[in-house]
Amino acid sequence: MLLNHEIIRNHEFQFRTKTGGILVALLSAERIDLDGEECLLVVATDITERKRAEEEIHLLQTTTQAIVSSCDFHSALEVTLHQVCESIGWNFAEAWIPCKDGTTLECSRGWYASTTSLEKFRVESEKMSFALGRGLPGRTWLSKQAEWINDVSIEPYQVFNRFEIARSNGLKASFSIPVIASDQVLAVLVLYSFEARAEDKRLVELVSAVATQVASVIQRKQAEEALRQAEEKYRTIFENAVEGIFQTTPDGGYISANPALARIYGYSSPEELMANLNNIHQQLYVDRNRRVEFIAAMEEDNAVTGFESEVYRKDGSIIWVSENARAVRDLGGEVVYYEGIVEDITHRKMAQEALRYQQQQTESLLLNILPSAIAERLKLQQSTIADSFPEATVMFADIVGFTQLSAHTSPVALVELLNEIFSTFDQLTEQHGLEKIKTIGDAYMVVGGLPTPRPDHAEAIAEMALDMQMEINRFNQETGLSFQIRVGINTGPVVAGVIGIKKFIYDLWGDTVNTASRMESHGIPGRIQVTAETYQLLRNKYLFEERGFIQVKGKGNMTTYLLTGRKRLYL
């Protein structure tokens, strides 16, 4: 070299020592004149340790950079194995990681091979797993220490259970290194060489240093992978949920919305929803106070459950929704956003409304058949209702001439006439606080003093009877007909109740009822006939004519009276 150069400075070269080791040195040389004689000055400096340190630093840097760029935990392991094997000249590397339940080590997807001929060893290894303390990976997992085997192809099964497949693939020297972070083994790296080798502590230290350097990075990658999987799972739920999912700002804008929410509100996509629905207070709720109420509930309980509201869809139609939401706050307690789910409950609301309407109709029908107090008792599943009343006033009224009219009047016209008259009587019943019992053909039955007792039951019946006469006269004037009513009234004890399970009605029983019926049937058309018992209760307030004795079927002779009007003092 000095033939071409006058001087050589820091020329790096390798040389073999007496023991066979290879070292690296720097050579500097030049010609010098020593007492008139040309000499050669040579200086060689051993830089083996420095070169090793530089190589280690370079390996650490390149490995760390490659891992940082890797997309997930397994690819980070593969990058590490590739970088290490390429750097130290070994032929195969694999990584073993704890399974999800932490009971065994399983083969990672990341691996390295210097030749495709080693794929068979890889395939066989993928079928295996190692318990704590079993096999080379399992022992390293347990001890958290590196382990070296000079030649795995000649080791017994207890030491290396893959010795046969290793031998057939030409693998010999092997060592394992644990990757540890926070005192937990994240992985066990196992490297192989085609050559049998005695333990190289420097090599073990180098790969251990790499493992230590990359452990935190790999741990972060592992955490990132777990987070990514969780986010993917959440995204899948978010995108495919039946319920709408949202995040909104306190001032009423959308931060996020899923496809289901867009569908519920009539938009083609979450993006369209968020672009157009930017003021929930003004645009969404039919009742604009609902957003205020929503926020007030959040301030009080930090959450709402089953918050039902009518909202507008994109096309202006109105639906019912139910919201379950919570407030997300910063460290200072200020609301950052609201998040929750929305369910379209329109069909449920319609069903509830239909049920409510049906219940109202049923209730109304029941109250048309029964007194309200009796209806309530029936709803409590009382199968039989029977009450005794010591005193009540019963009235029967019959339309005189109606039977003859039916002979030359159509059924429809006849029913319409009867309905008009009896509807008027029903109004009078309500007006006087009486209880209609039933109609039988053209006869109308009403009672005073039950099911809720009242002291003026006889007076109320008398007032209704007089008003019925007045209404019939008005009806005759308006229609040109000449109907009369024959009324019978009696006062006394009765039994009232509901019996049976089909077509039940509230009815009365007892001699008082029979006598009232006889008063009507033995009465005079256009007049109101009462018994002596009723007369005694009314004589101070009403005008009567004494009819005298009449023969009453099943009762014999009875003194009866005809109610003609009210005394002037009580008009």
Q: Report d(CA 416, CA 206) in Å as an integer.
A: 110
Q: What percent of the chain has pLDDT over 90?
A: 50
Model pLDDT, residue 372: 64
Model pLDDT, residue 8: 76
For residue 26, name the pLDDT band (cuts at 50, 70, 90). confident
First to last CA, the chain: 149
Can you tell me the mean pLDDT for 164-171?
Answer: 93
Model pLDDT, residue 111: 84
**Six-digit token string for 410:** 């159509």
Model pLDDT, residue 318: 94
Model pLDDT, residue 36: 78
Within 10 angstroms of residue 110's Cβ, the number of other Cβ atoms is: 23
Output the DSSP codes for 295-361.
HHHHHHHSEEEEEEEEEE-TTS-EEEEEEEEEEEE-TTS-EEEEEEEEEE-HHHHHHHHHHHHHHHH
| Of 295, 267, 264, residue with least CA distance to 281 | 295
Q: Report d(CA 181, CA 370) in Å as an integer.
A: 81
Q: What is the pLDDT of residues 287-319, one digit of tens each?
A: 989 999 999 999 999 999 999 999 999 999 999
Any idea what DSSP says for residue 285?
B
For the ranges 210-214, 215-219, 417-421, the maximum mean pLDDT occurs at 417-421
Model pLDDT, residue 1: 57
Q: Report d(CA 94, CA 149) in Å as an integer.
A: 15
Dihedral over alpha carbons 306, 310, 311, 315 (to 10 degrees):
140
For the ranges 55-59, 226-230, 431-435, the maximum mean pLDDT occurs at 431-435
Can you tell me the mean pLDDT for 264-277?
Answer: 93
Model pLDDT, residue 216: 77
Phi, psi of 250 (to 5 degrees): -60, -30
The letter for the amino acid at 229 is: Q
Dihedral over alpha carbons 292, 294, 295, 297 (to 10 degrees):
120
Can you tell me the mean pLDDT for 120-132?
Answer: 92
Between 35 and 67, the more confident residue is: 35
For residue 357, name the pLDDT band (cuts at 50, 70, 90). confident
**Six-digit token string for 71:** 């997309």
Q: Report d(CA 112, CA 125) in Å as an integer.
A: 13
The letter for the amino acid at 163 is: F
Q: What percent of the chain has pLDDT over 70?
A: 87
Residues in the chain: 571
Q: Give yes or no for residue 524 having a pLDDT over 70.
A: yes
Find tokens 């029903």 and name the residue. Answer: 426
Model pLDDT, residue 145: 95
For residue 487, name the pLDDT band (cuts at 50, 70, 90). very high
3-state secondary structure of 545: strand
